[in-house]
Structure 1
Amino acid sequence: MRSIAVIGLGKFGSTVARELTERGARVIAIDEDRERVEAIKESVAYAVTLNSTDKAALESVAIRDVDVAVVCIGEDVEANLLTTLLLKKLGVKKIWARAITELQLEILKTLEVDDIINLEEEMGITIAQTLASANVGRYIPLSEGHSIAEIKLPDVYVGKTLREINLREKHKINVVALKRFVPAIDDLGERILKESIDNVPSSDEKLTDDVVLIVAGANRDIDRFSRG
């Protein structure tokens, strides 16, 4: 079980802490705001109120022993940077840190943290990529120039199979899964459309116009394919 410290329990940090716990990680949730700590203590392995810019306080929770520390402190740039610097000095194995400003981003790069979380930039890129094509439902950036994307099947490919479309050879993208919305009945007995994911799609199944392809590849190749 991975041990992960989440420092800063605002909306972003508390969401990260809860999601990590649901995925089997042992989470140490840290914030200097007692109310935030109280709000999350039942959802994580250990929650503690402390000042993360205090070296002795961090040492008191054996911060050196965690596999990863995630600095989620947002608006308080000074606390974010001081916490990150202390984690580096204490020899934490891996550090992820959130950046709000360009200057903060540059300083974190200088500190050589393992990963920088730049929500504003990443979300801006994702929204722009999604809006740029009418057939693309959502982009998830993987690395510079590459993404996972949800693409509504272009009309020209309706009735064809994945083998016939041959995405890998002809379009240089890979199909990760197929998504459909199938009729279902909810707990109240109402008819609904429920999302269904086929993560091992048959290459010989004929594709219908309600199919959403989940693909991975270079952004330019995804864009080109999405236009049909």
Structure 2
Amino acid sequence: MRQFAVIGLGRFGFKVAEVLAKKGASVIAIDRRQDLIEKISDFVTKAIQIDSANEEALIASGIKEVDVAIISIGENIESSILTTALVKNIGINEIISRACTSLHAQILKMVGATRVIFPEEDMGVRVANSVLSPGILEYMELGADYTLAEIEAKKEWIGSTINVWDVKNNFGVNVVIIKRKIVETVEKAEEAKETEEAKEKEIKVLPTANYKIEEGDVFIILGDKKDIERFEKKWK
């Protein structure tokens, strides 16, 4: 039997967890609010009150054992993106994440979501059914006031690690992904002779505290518009 984790127990997430559990699935329900955990605990296999953006707490919840993670965090875009990235990093192969805007959906896919949805309350039932019996759904796009910025690594950053700059504590923003261009050598057949050719390729990297910054790295940064502007002005 497949096992599921539902992270975020608003009206949508609660309904997903409830329907999955009633259909006999094993469900871990996770939310930071204790009242929601108490409310869902009678239905699911396990209900845990933690901050899902805390990697240690997330691992301790037993999420490594699930087959599918459904991240149904509402309009806290920062938390939904960080949680999606952490779940991907933990090793969950199927990740369904709730998005508020098309831009939010794009970054969720970049950090690891295998499927992105734009639900309303009654879609909880449809999504729960879709992960039990595959199907295609359409979703409504919502609005949210967050900014996503691409910033090329500044000369001051080159050679240092991300933890040196600690942008979360100093500026209130998060580096959610880093784009780096690399040159790889490919073999090419030309007139019955094997030749080599250099080809530029872009890779996307989930940042870690010890990630060493190189010239040309592009940082995708998420945060409140004012915090992003403050961060950008610092390096002008």
Paired position in structure 2 for 1:18: 18
1:64-83, CA deviations, whole angstroms, 9 ceiling, x for partnerless residues?
Answer: 11010000001111110000
- The answer on whether the counterparts of 1:66 and 1:93 sit within 8 Å (CA) in structure 2 is no
RMSD of equivalent CA atoms = 2.0
TM-score (norm 1): 0.52
Aligned residues: 126
Alignment of 1:75-154 (within 5 A): 75-119=75-119, 142=136
Rg comparison, structure with higher value: 1
Matched, 1:8 2:8: yes
AA aligned to 2:57 is A
- The answer on whether the counterparts of 2:12 and 2:119 sit within 8 Å (CA) in structure 1 is no
AA aligned to 1:35 is D
- The answer on whether the counterparts of 1:50 and 1:57 sit within 8 Å (CA) in structure 2 is yes
**Greater RCO between the two (CA within 8 Å, min separation 6)?**
2
Cα separation, partners in 2 of 1:12 and 1:81, compared to 1, 3 Å: same
d(CA) in 2 for partners of 1:76 and 1:32?
12
d(CA) in 2 for partners of 1:16 and 1:111?
23
Q: Secondary structure of the equivalent of 1:119?
A: coil
Q: CA deviation at 1:109?
A: 2.1
The unaligned stretches of length 5 or more in structure 2 are 124-134, 139-236
The unaligned stretches of length 5 or more in structure 1 are 124-140, 145-228
Q: Secondary structure of the equivalent of 1:142?
A: coil
AA aligned to 1:100 is C
- The answer on whether the counterparts of 1:64 and 1:93 sit within 8 Å (CA) in structure 2 is no
* Deviant stretches of 4+, over 4 Å: none
d(CA) in 2 for partners of 1:109 and 1:57?
23
1:106-165, CA deviations, whole angstroms, 9 ceiling, x for partnerless residues?
Answer: 101222421111126xx8xxxxxxxxxxxxxxxxx8368xxxxxxxxxxxxxxxxxxxxx
Paired position in structure 2 for 1:32: 32
Paired position in structure 1 for 2:52: 52
Q: CA deviation at 1:29?
A: 0.4
Q: CA deviation at 1:86?
A: 0.3
AA aligned to 2:3 is S
TM-score (norm 2): 0.50
AA aligned to 1:32 is R
